[in-house]
Amino acid sequence: MQAGFAVLCAGSVNRTHALTIMLYNVMDAAVGAIAYYLFGYAFAYGGPPHNGFIGTRNFAMHNFHHPTLENGNPVNPTSRWLHQWAFAGVAAGITSGSIAERTQVTGYLVYVSFLTGFVYPVVSHWVWAPSGWISPFKINPFLGVGMVDFAGSSVVHLTGGIAGFWGSWIEGERLAVKEKRERKQGKGLSLPEPEEQKNDTLLVLGTCLLWFSWYGFNPGSLTSIVPVANIAKDVVVARTAVTTTLSAATSAFTTLLARRAITGYWNVPDVCNGLLGGLAAVTAGCAVIEPWAAILIGMLAAWVLIGMNALAKQLLYDDPLEAFQLHAGCGLLGVTAAGLLAKKDYLMQVYPRWQGEYSGLFYGGGGRLLAAQLIGALCITLWTSLTMGVVFWALELFELLRISPDEERGGYDSAMRGKPDNPSTVAPDAVIAA
């Protein structure tokens, strides 16, 4: 999945910043692995059982020798570490899209370490650890149900999107975006018109890689995160793969038609982002909803993304990859949809402690699940805003966040490497297509 994010980001930014954003995606995985090894897993799954806020054991993989029992099922902490490290890297990769084309290497490394080593692990502890305060795996879950987020619409996507929002908001608009807007307003006419050089072929390739990777992200979450006793796992995995596919496909198609109706054009980047929005939205409930519900979620995700982008434009919010709009907006939709559309039988298959009288609101299960979903999403938003907002503000205060205007206009690739930019470093569309 990290490869997909790297290629997607490289195709979504100007050529003079493409190598930088790809380096940042490599660092999401590399720095994230070290941070998650030292601290992240312990904060997420280290226990003790009475602490619903944060784990305090297993730092640096201490006492990882034997599987542990959770809800009567064996869990291998080593394999779960690997799976969760990948999820932490995805959360960091989401944020990288929001702050692209204007962020220093030093500031980036600080934020990645903090997000993967502390902020994300605490959120995952809340929702996925057996002792988490809103976890459905808890012996006495919150409101009798806990928060259903099977593969991370809130834990991964909402967290990464909110972190990206604060990074982008504190940094402000990219110079190229600001100057383009001022030209339209009759200002800054003496400034030369910058040439946008983006690579839609890379963007499409990255989107396809991510779509493929999502079949590990969603169906793969069953054995690594959610133990299932006396249930045919292949049925749950297959259902999860089907709902993931339908939501992505429906969102892409809806975005294609909607943007055509709005703008009069067929737009490749919009369709790619619409597809990813459908994936982010279905991730919470993919294992506990019917296929028709996945189609509905995909349709709604397309319109949420379109609406969020329109609002961002009005607020002069500059997010090069629409990461906040896509991941936070569609992630919140997904968490809400699970509270409405989760089916009782499927919930009981996936969550061993599930009480049969509760289901999604539209299935007559009352409002408890929906309430837990919304409260959990609100707390995740507040937690991420408080922690990552402070981090980005401190980096900006100490001038460690934004690159200089010359570096931004000339391209951070050349400044970072200490030599002039080489046009051959990013392959032309024709070469990639071949």
Q: If DSSP states are collapsed to H, E and C, what string results for 324-346?
A: HHHHHHHHHHHHHHHHHHCCHHH
Q: What is the extent of the structural domain holding 157?
A: 2-51+59-186+202-427
Within a domain: residue 334?
yes
Is there a domain that residue 281 lies in?
Answer: yes
Q: Do you know the residue count of the chain?
A: 434
Is a pLDDT exceeding 80 seen at residue 419?
no
* CATH number, domain containing residue 300: 1.10.3430.10
Contact by Cβ (8 Å): 204, 272: yes
Write the burial class of residue 254 (CB in 10 Å: 0-12 exposed, 13-18 middle, 19+ buried). buried
Q: For residue 77, what are its two tokens?
A: 């902490």
- pLDDT at res. 402: 96
Q: Taking a C-beta distance cutoff of 8 angstroms, is the pair 95, 101 a contact?
A: no
399: which 2 tokens? 């001038």
Number of domains into which the chain is organized: 1
Residue 414, token pair as written in the block: 């050349």
User: Among 114, 213, 128, 119, which residue's Cα sits nearest to residue 159?
Assistant: 119
Whether residue 269 is preceded by a cis peptide bond, meaning omega within 30 degrees of 0, is no
Does 194 fall in a domain?
no
The residue among 23, 157, 41, 27 whose CA lies nearest residue 90 is 157
CB < 8 Å & 24+ apart, contacts of 38-41: 38/117, 39/117, 39/118, 39/121, 40/84, 40/85, 40/88, 40/116, 40/117, 40/118, 40/120, 40/121, 41/77, 41/80, 41/81, 41/84, 41/85, 41/121
> Cα torsion for 253, 256, 261, 262, to the nearest 10°?
130
Residue 162 within any structural domain of the chain: yes
pLDDT tens readout for residues 154-184: 999 999 999 999 999 999 999 988 888 878 7
pLDDT above 90: percentage of residues in the chain: 75
pLDDT at residue 194, as a whole number: 58
* Average pLDDT along the chain: 90
Q: Is the distance from CB of 360 to CB of 338 less than 8 angstroms?
A: yes
Asked if the structure places residue 191 within a domain, the reply is no
Phi first, then psi: give them for residue 402, nearest 5 degrees.
Answer: -95, 145
| pLDDT at res. 200 | 94
Tell me the pLDDT tens digit for each residue of 15-40. Answer: 999 999 999 999 999 999 999 999 99
Residue 124 has pLDDT above 80, yes or no: yes
Q: What is the mean pLDDT of residues 66-84?
A: 79
Q: What digits encode the pLDDT tens for the residues 209-251? A: 999 999 999 999 886 444 445 566 888 999 999 999 999 999 9
Q: Which residues contact 232 (CB under 8 A, 6 or more apart)?
A: none
Considering just the CA atoms, what is the radius of gyration of the chain in Å? 21
Range name among 23-32, 41-50, 261-270, 425-434 with the lowest pLDDT average: 425-434
Residue 405 lies in a domain: yes
Q: Is residue 75 part of a domain?
A: yes
Q: What 3 state SS string does the chain have?
A: CHHHHHHHHHHHCCHHHHHHHHHHHHHHHHHHHHHHHHHHHHHHHCCCCCCCCCCCCCHHHCCCCCCEEECCEEECHHHHHHHHHHHHHHHHHHHHHHCCCCECHHHHHHHHHHHHHHHHHHHHHHHHCCCCCCCCCCCCCHHHCCCCCCCCHHHHHHHHHHHHHHHHHHHCCCHHHHHHHHHHCCCCCCCCCCCCCCCHHHHHHHHHHHHHHHHHHCCCHHHHHCCCCCCCHHHHHHHHHHHHHHHHHHHHHHHHHHHHHHHCCCCHHHHHHHHHHHHHHHCCCCCCCCHHHHHHHHHHHHHHHHHHHHHHHHCCCCCCCCHHHHHHHHHHHHHHHHHHHCCHHHHHHHCCCCCCCCCCHHHCCCCHHHHHHHHHHHHHHHHHHHHHHHHHHHHHHCCCCECCHHHHHHCHHHHHHCCCCCHHHCCCHHHHHC
The answer to whether position 313 is within a domain reads yes
